[in-house]
Amino acid sequence: MAISIIQAVNKLKTMKQREKCGNLGFILAALMFVWTTYKSFFPSQIRIFLNMIHRYTYPYVHISFPEYQGDGFYQYKTLAYKAIERYLHKKSSDQARFLKAGHAPDSDTIVLSIEENEEVSDEFQGIKVRWASRQLTPKGQSISLYTRGDEKRYFRLTFYKKHREFVTNVYLKHVLEEGKQIAVRERRRKLYTNRKSDVGNRTPMWSQVRFEHPATFDTLVMEPKKKKEIMDDLINFSKAKEYYAKIGKAWKRGYLLYGPPGTGKSTMIAAMANLLNYDVYDLELTSVKDNSELRKLLIDTSGRSIIVIEDIDCSLDLTGQRDQRNTKTKEDKKDPVEKIIKTKKVEDNNKSSSQVTLSGLLNFIDGLWSACGGERLIVFTTNYVEDLDPALIRRGRMDKHIELSYCRFEAFKDLAKIYLNIESHELFDKVGKLLEEIEMTPADVAENLMPKSTEEDADFCVKRLVNALEQAKEEARLKAEEEERLKAEKEEKKKQKQKQDSPGSEVKGTETVAADQEKENDDHEVKSGETVANEAKENTHSVVDSAETVTDEVKEN
């Protein structure tokens, strides 16, 4: 019984389906009939006229954005298509049912885009538009090295005719800008370095690796106020495109980072790059042949980047124009070991064949070419800021001078938090006091605070730092004592040398005394001739005696 009911229902369904198919077939046949009649009975002029009416009354505008452009042989993917793809990524994944996944070049993200014939809607400032992905298959055969065969994909934007102005002037600008920003945010950042010029002209001037430095302003310790000021300055710069255009300045900014080794100059550059999402061009000046090559390198850099010249004082002999006396006094004050290291570095660099001059470098920083690309930071680092030519670091070239210095208590507390995750310890006060007395770089403090094995807990590391500081203090005391002793020795030797060098002056002194005596005698005319003569004789004897004694002493010596 049940089976027969099911069979009856199935039969009914089949009948209904047949009926539907029949209806569909009928509709199609009717349409075909109307189309054929229209084509054969309406002359082409009328058809054109009807089309014109249709066009005139049609309420929409369509704009196509092809994926590739160019001639048949050489084709390239259009920037607009790429930007739209990125822009629609979020909307596509929210709205479309058929999606394509692709790996964006220079990025780790998967980009989802709508499959052909899918559509998504978008709204901007109250105006609604529709985006569709379409594909054309060309009738003829096309040969191209760069396209993927016959596929000719494009995005089609549809909107109301009345919004034409807004869409073309405002909305599309917004889409392209936003798409570019998304691509920049998601791209893999690069660290570039310049090749030695004799590698060959055809190879790119910059070689690149992925930039993966983990330093951020959170892990960089320095005075909080100063840190905030630097971060604000950087963020402000990155948003100031219009402002720079308004004041007529190239969109670039120079930073000079100076301070002793190990105070975080290179770390700060990495933090800057990570904050602004910029590439880094590490320029090795000694590998640059001459000024014209320097200019080419500059042209080959992209925007949104930091161009770094580390240890600028050692890169080239840029100190030549300085007042030599001035430099010498400062040189003398330096630690002898530092002096040796520096001299070595300069000697090594002098061996290189670089003919880059100071004026070439100044042009590189703010010559006409420096404006190409835009949104660029130029950062110099140095351990000896006083050695640099003032022209190189004047404001306008190096707009912001940042001193990175030895670790003080506040910086130590930040390092303890970062490295050991502690905010207090019984030895903190002691560390604070020691850091007031001893100059230790953040690099050394960090090294002591970093656990080297699982057994080394926070307590162990803080104690190790205290020991290191005490040892450094003791060494400094011994060094000061040694210096004092050497100074005293030097003084003593100097005195003795003076003594040795001036025996004649004692004899000469004798003559002077005799002459004085004579003069004195003349003055005392009241004295009797005899008395005066005797006195003079006595005096002369005693002076000659003493002169003889001095001469004997000198001889003995």
Ligand X SMILES: Nc1ncnc2c1ncn2[C@@H]1O[C@H](COP(=O)(O)OP(=O)(O)OP(=O)(O)O)[C@@H](O)[C@H]1O
Residue 274 near ligand X by CB under 6 A: no
Residue 222 near ligand X by CB under 6 A: yes
202-231 residues near Mg ion, rule: CB under 5 A: none
Nearer to ligand X, 262 or 373 (CB): 262
CA distance 248 to 377: 17
Helix (H, G, I), strand (E, B) or coil at 307: strand
Contact 406, 439 (CB under 8 A): yes
Residue 443 near ligand X by CB under 6 A: yes
For the CB of residue 443, give the shortest distance to Mg ion in the complex, in Å: 10
Nearer to ligand X, 92 or 441 (CB): 441
Nearer to ligand X, 130 or 334 (CB): 334
Nearer to ligand X, 392 or 446 (CB): 446
- Pick the binder of ligand X from 75, 113, 263, 274 (CB under 6 A): 263
Cα–Cα distances in Å, from 473 out to 201, 433, 434, 435, 466?
A: 54, 11, 8, 10, 10
Window contacting ligand X (CB under 6 A); options: 32-40, 229-237, 256-264, 389-397? 256-264
For the CB of residue 176, give the shortest distance to Mg ion in the complex, in Å: 39
Cα–Cα distances in Å, from 190 out to 193, 257, 259, 278?
A: 10, 22, 27, 8
281 forms beta bridges with: 192, 307
Per-residue contact track with Mg ion, 244 to 273, x per CB under 5 A? Answer: ---------------------xx-------
For the CB of residue 80, give the shortest distance to ligand X in the complex, in Å: 41
**Chosen from Mg ion, ligand X, none, partner binding at 138 (C-beta under 5 to 8 Å by type):** none
Residue 262 near ligand X by CB under 6 A: yes
Residue 315 near Mg ion by CB under 5 A: no
For the CB of residue 233, give the shortest distance to Mg ion in the complex, in Å: 21
Window contacting ligand X (CB under 6 A); options: 96-104, 229-237, 257-265, 470-478? 257-265
Length of the chain: 557
- Pick the binder of ligand X from 446, 449, 461, 462 (CB under 6 A): 446
**Chosen from Mg ion, ligand X, none, partner binding at 254 (C-beta under 5 to 8 Å by type):** none
- Give counts: helices (H), strands (E), the chain: 20, 15
Window contacting ligand X (CB under 6 A); options: 80-88, 232-240, 262-270, 490-498? 262-270
Window contacting ligand X (CB under 6 A); options: 140-148, 199-207, 213-221, 332-340? 213-221
What's 168's DSSP letter? Answer: I
**What value, to the nearest 5°, has the Cα angle with vertex 542 and ends 540 and 546?**
115
Residue 273 near ligand X by CB under 6 A: no
Phi, psi of 451 (to 5 degrees): -65, 135
CA distance 178 to 87: 6
Closest C-alpha among 180, 206, 195, 211 to residue 87: 180
Nearer to ligand X, 205 or 220 (CB): 220
Contact 115, 133 (CB under 8 A): yes
CA distance 90 to 110: 12
Residue 448 near ligand X by CB under 6 A: no
- Pick the binder of ligand X from 92, 113, 133, 267 (CB under 6 A): 267
Residue 264 near ligand X by CB under 6 A: yes
CA distance 330 to 333: 5
Nearer to Mg ion, 180 or 400 (CB): 400
- Pick the binder of ligand X from 254, 360, 373, 442 (CB under 6 A): 442
Convert 74-111 into a string of H (helix), E (strand) and C (coil): CEEECHHHHHHHHHHHHHHHHHCCCEEEEECCCECCEE
CA distance 6 to 24: 27
Residue 341 near ligand X by CB under 6 A: no
Which sign, positive or negative, has the C-alpha torsion 421, 424, 426, 431? positive
Comparing every residue's Cβ against ligand X, the nearest one is 264
Helix (H, G, I), strand (E, B) or coil at 459: helix
Residue 266 near ligand X by CB under 6 A: yes
Nearer to ligand X, 319 or 355 (CB): 319
What's 145's DSSP letter? Answer: S
Residue 448 near Mg ion by CB under 5 A: no
Residues in the site for Mg ion, rule: CB under 5 A? 265-266
Residues in the site for ligand X, rule: CB under 6 A? 219-222, 261-267, 383, 442-443, 446
